[in-house]
């Protein structure tokens, strides 16, 4: 429930018209808004929520925010109207206003790779011991995190938020809204270079999470990441290092690999240790497990509960998820997204897995790499050339650079998915293993669907 005076204070707005001064909630979607909710019209490069203020009012009988530059639409719009400079900033301010009044411990996670998986593993470790609220799926941008904070009900002991960015300053804004007591950066790798420009830009953007964690709070640092540890210098928060290859307060050891069945691992905590099994594949997932375990143990979750959560947690849709077809072909669906590091991790994991037949990779473009896109796609080609992958199938425009590195002896390049799938029909045999991966906009899951 929101009072008009609270909203005006939170969003730094002014009332253009007042017909209703109590609102049951807020909504950014005119299609799903309920009666009594305040509509916040979001504006983006290809859409303008102000066009739907009237539609929203027909359902809510309530009111809306409106950007001052769009004040011209207000005379013909019924309901309470509150003028603000920017509706996305207003949404963030409203979320921060609510967060400031919540007595909860906030955990925030960012990084180039592994954010969502780390968050989901951590929540699975916590949920049976404490009350916890988290952002669903990967709703990690300015709008998604704000809505997640505004969706908090009751008094959860903990909130876990995944924070994402593709341009400078977004992590700072998200951290100011979430006000984390505990924070973690999974890693720093080439991603969203269109907006962040350089590796230094990525590092500075991610480190904003640590610098905007509450003073006296705890920050968890991947000791094996070559960027974070050398640059993070801060005496106002308590650092906790975790790692696999180097020395760290929290350390993971691989005891035994079970191939497709996962591995047995031991995690060393301060003064304690845990041995358990995981079905997740790849070293990159072991870092996600270790990161989540480090935070869970530090907030008092029993190690046995942590171990059980690790053992029962399974990969989910489009994140290195193995699928067996009726023809006996194993397909690894890793189609959620891709950047240079995650490509190499996925291919390396494929190479480590046992297979009766041949191993094939189907790769799409890696997006948002900016001026270095050509270089990174060439680098991917060199990585594949040095591997034992006998056949690489490529689809897209930017992977033409990868094809140039590999050559027609090791790779096939396609313009469309239909011809790609038709080609595969004559190549695949029982026992073969296929990795499918590409950036979200490539919709590589359509290939997985066609093959299964």
pLDDT digits (tens, 9 = 90+) for 388-447: 999 999 999 999 999 999 999 999 999 999 999 999 999 999 999 999 999 999 999 999
d(CA 156, CA 195): 35
d(CA 309, CA 285): 14
Residue 204: pLDDT band (50, 70, 90) is very high
Structural domain harbouring 197: 102-312
**Over the chain, what is the mean pLDDT?**
96
pLDDT value of residue 88: 97
Query: Does any domain span residue 94?
Result: no
Domain total in the chain: 3
Tokens of residue 253, six digits? 């050891």
Last residue of a domain, one of 292, 312, 332: 312
Condensed to tens digits (0 to 9), the pLDDT of residues 8-57 reads: 999 999 999 999 999 999 999 999 999 999 999 999 888 899 999 999 99
> Same structural domain for residues 51 and 128?
no
Query: Does any domain span residue 93?
Result: no
pLDDT value of residue 413: 98
Condensed to tens digits (0 to 9), the pLDDT of residues 356-400 reads: 999 999 999 999 999 999 999 999 999 999 999 999 999 999 999
Q: What is the pTM of this model?
A: 0.95
Listed residue (83, 31, 40, 39) closest to 62, CA to CA: 39
> Which residue has 């796609």 as its token pair?
377
Residue 229: pLDDT band (50, 70, 90) is very high
Query: Does any domain span residue 308?
Result: yes
Strands laid side by side in the 132-134 sheet: 132-134, 158-162, 105-110, 182-185, 218-222, 238-243, 250-257, 263-269, 272-278
> Same structural domain for residues 116 and 245?
yes
> Same structural domain for residues 227 and 250?
yes
DSSP conformation letters of 266-327: EEEETTEEEEEEE---SHHHHHHHHHHHHHHHHTT--HHHHHHHHHH----TTSSEEEE-TT
> Same structural domain for residues 240 and 303?
yes
Residue 76 pLDDT exceeds 90: no
pLDDT value of residue 84: 98
> Same structural domain for residues 255 and 141?
yes
Listed residue (267, 261, 256) closest to 279, CA to CA: 261
- Number of Cβ within 10 Å of residue 394's Cβ equals 26
């Amino acid at each position: 429930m929101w009072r008009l005076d609270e909203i005006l204070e939170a969003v730094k707005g002014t009332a253009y018209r007042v017909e209703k001064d109590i609102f049951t909630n807020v909504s950014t979607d005119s299609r799903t808004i309920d009666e009594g909710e305040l509509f916040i019209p979001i504006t983006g490069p290809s859409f303008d929520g102000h066009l739907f203020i009237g539609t929203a009012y027909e359902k809510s009988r309530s009111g809306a925010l409106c950007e001052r530059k769009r004040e011209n639409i207000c005379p013909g719009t019924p309901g309470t109207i509150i003028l603000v400079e920017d509706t996305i900033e207003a949404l963030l301010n409203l979320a921060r206003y609510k967060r400031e009044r919540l007595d909860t411990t906030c955990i925030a996670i960012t990084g180039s790779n592994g954010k969502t998986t780390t968050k989901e593993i951590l929540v699975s470790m916590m949920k049976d011991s404490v009350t916890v609220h988290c952002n669903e799926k990967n709703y990690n941008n300015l709008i998604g995190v704000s809505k997640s904070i505004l969706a908090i009900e009751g008094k959860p002991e903990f909130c876990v938020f995944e924070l994402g960015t593709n341009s400078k300053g977004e992590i700072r804004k998200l951290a100011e809204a979430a006000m984390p007591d505990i924070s973690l950066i999974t890693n720093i790798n080439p991603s969203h270079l269109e907006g962040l420009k350089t590796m230094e830009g990525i590092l500075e953007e991610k480190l904003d999470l640590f610098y905007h964690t509450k003073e006296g709070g705890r920050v968890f640092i991947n000791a094996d990441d070559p960027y974070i540890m050398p640059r993070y210098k801060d005496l106002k928060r308590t650092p906790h290092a975790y790692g696999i290859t180097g020395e760290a307060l929290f350390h993971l050891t691989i005891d035994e690999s079970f191939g497709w069945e996962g591995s047995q691992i031991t995690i060393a905590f301060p003064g304690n240790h845990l041995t358990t099994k995981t079905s997740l594949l790849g070293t990159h997932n072991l870092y996600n497990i270790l990161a989540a375990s480090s935070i869970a143990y530090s907030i008092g979750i029993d190690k046995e509960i942590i171990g059980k959560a690790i053992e029962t947690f399974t990969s989910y849709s489009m994140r290195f998820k193995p699928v067996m077809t009726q023809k006996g072909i194993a397909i690894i669906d890793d189609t959620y997204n891709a950047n240079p590091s995650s490509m190499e991790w996925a291919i390396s994991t494929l190479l480590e897995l046992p297979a009766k037949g041949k191993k094939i990779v189907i790769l799409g473009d890696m997006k948002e790499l900016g001026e270095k896109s050509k270089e990174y796609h060439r680098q991917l080609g060199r990585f594949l050339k040095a591997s034992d992958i006998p056949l690489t199938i490529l689809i897209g425009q930017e992977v033409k650079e990868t094809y140039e590195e590999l050559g027609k002896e090791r790779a096939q390049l396609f313009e469309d998915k239909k011809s790609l799938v038709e080609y595969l029909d004559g190549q695949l045999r029982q026992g073969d293993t296929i990795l499918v991966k590409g950036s979200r906009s490539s919709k590589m899951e359509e290939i997985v669907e066609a093959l299964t």
